[in-house]
Amino acid sequence: MNSIVQEKYKSNTQALNKIITDFDDKGEQFVNGKRNTIKLFDLGDLKINIKSFKVPNIFNQLAYKHLRKSKAQRSFEYANILIDKGIKTPFPIAYYEFTTTLLFKRSFYVSEHLIYDLTYRELIHDFNYPDYDAILRAFTRFTFKLHNLDVNFLDHSPGNTLIKKVGDDYEFYLVDLNRMKFSPITFEDRIKNFARLTEHKSMVKTMSDEYAKCLNEDPEKVFNLMWSYTQEFQYKFNRKKELKKKFLFWR
């Protein structure tokens, strides 16, 4: 077992080790996905969130053991980078990795659990959500902030931004952090970063309008490019689903 614990939580190392050891048998189920599982545990008076990444295929077991950082390690490191940049994410506590001599096996990312009001996904399904337009525009300005700070969040998708209302304002927290790049972002890549968020033209219209204001760019130019990237992503996404149905029908 390899583990790194945030300095603030070093005194909790023994308790964290026990929680990781008991992960499969204890804890409160929060997300039970096809690929990963998230459970909640109590660490003293604090509620913590632990993401268990599934054991990768044999090729990635070799890669993560010898060539690449694990998803858990990247999540932990990227969370610290985001916080240093003034971008919100549930506070990172630790990560754990389990390996054999030659292969990588399981890994866990531990963070403080955040109580939030909604995710971007609610905006896709409920156009009458209170303060809808203000939230969508605030989210767009948040994305603009990411881009200006050289944060390219490659998994900028509906479930990966938690939204918390604080007074009359909204705070945005990034989760599922293991796919990011930190470098200057071109105009085209800025716009392309919105492609995975929604299939609804009305939402793209609002986001492109707000982003154009942030950039001091022509709104029509931004909309046309954002809508083009959105359609391209949706086509590929739906095509992939159809191919899976066709060739993996026995599953």
Q: Quick one: 62 exposed, middle or buried, by C-beta within 10 A (0-12, 13-18, 19+)?
A: middle
Q: Torsion over CA of 145, 86, 114 and 172, rounded to 10 degrees?
A: -10
Compute the distance between CA of residue 106 and CA of residue 53 in angstroms, rounded to an integer. 6
Q: pLDDT digit string (tens) for 151-174? A: 999 999 999 999 999 999 999 999
pLDDT of the residue at 243: 65
- What rounded mean pLDDT belongs to the chain? 94
Write the CATH number for 7.
Answer: 3.30.200.20
Look at residue 7 and tell me if it is in a domain: yes
Instruction: Please determine, for residue 238, whether its predicted confidence score (pLDDT) is greater than 80.
Output: no
**92 and 179 fall within a common domain:** no
Nearest CA to 106 out of 182, 53, 66, 155 is that of: 53
Q: Which residues pair with 88 in a beta bridge?
A: 173
3-state SS assignment for residue 96: strand
3-state SS assignment for residue 16: helix
**136 and 202 fall within a common domain:** yes
Instruction: Please determine, for residue 104, whether its predicted confidence score (pLDDT) is greater than 90.
Output: yes
pLDDT of the residue at 157: 95
3-state SS assignment for residue 232: helix
Look at residue 234 and tell me if it is in a domain: yes
Amino acid at 168: D
**158 and 238 fall within a common domain:** yes
pTM, two decimal places: 0.93
**101 and 194 fall within a common domain:** no
Write the CATH number for 135.
Answer: 1.10.510
Of 28-42, 105-119, 135-149, least confident by mean pLDDT is 28-42
Read off the pLDDT of each residue in 15-31 and give the average, rounded to a whole number.
96
Question: Domain tally for the chain?
Answer: 2
**86 and 186 fall within a common domain:** no
Confidence of residue 240 (pLDDT cuts 50, 70, 90): confident
**40 and 69 fall within a common domain:** yes
- Residues of the chain with pLDDT > 70, as a percent, come to 96
Compute the distance between CA of residue 44 and CA of residue 59 in angstroms, rounded to an integer. 39
Look at residue 250 and tell me if it is in a domain: no
**147 and 105 fall within a common domain:** no
pLDDT of the residue at 246: 63
Could you tell me the residue range of the domain that residue 107 belongs to? 2-112
231 CB contacts (<8 Å, ≥6 apart)? Answer: none
Read off the pLDDT of each residue in 89-101 and give the average, rounded to a whole number.
97
Burial state string for 117-142 with b = 16 or more CB within 10 A and e = fewer than 16: ebbbeebeeeeeeeeeeebbbbbbeb
**CA-only gyration radius of the chain, Å:** 20
Instruction: Please determine, for residue 146, whether its predicted confidence score (pLDDT) is greater than 80.
Output: yes
- Residues of the chain with pLDDT > 90, as a percent, come to 91
Q: What does the DSSP assignment read for 39-53? A: EEEEETTEEEEEEEE
pLDDT of the residue at 245: 62
Q: pLDDT digit string (tens) for 178-235? A: 999 999 999 999 999 999 999 999 999 999 999 999 999 999 999 999 999 999 999 8
**183 and 126 fall within a common domain:** yes
Look at residue 89 and tell me if it is in a domain: yes
Look at residue 74 and tell me if it is in a domain: yes
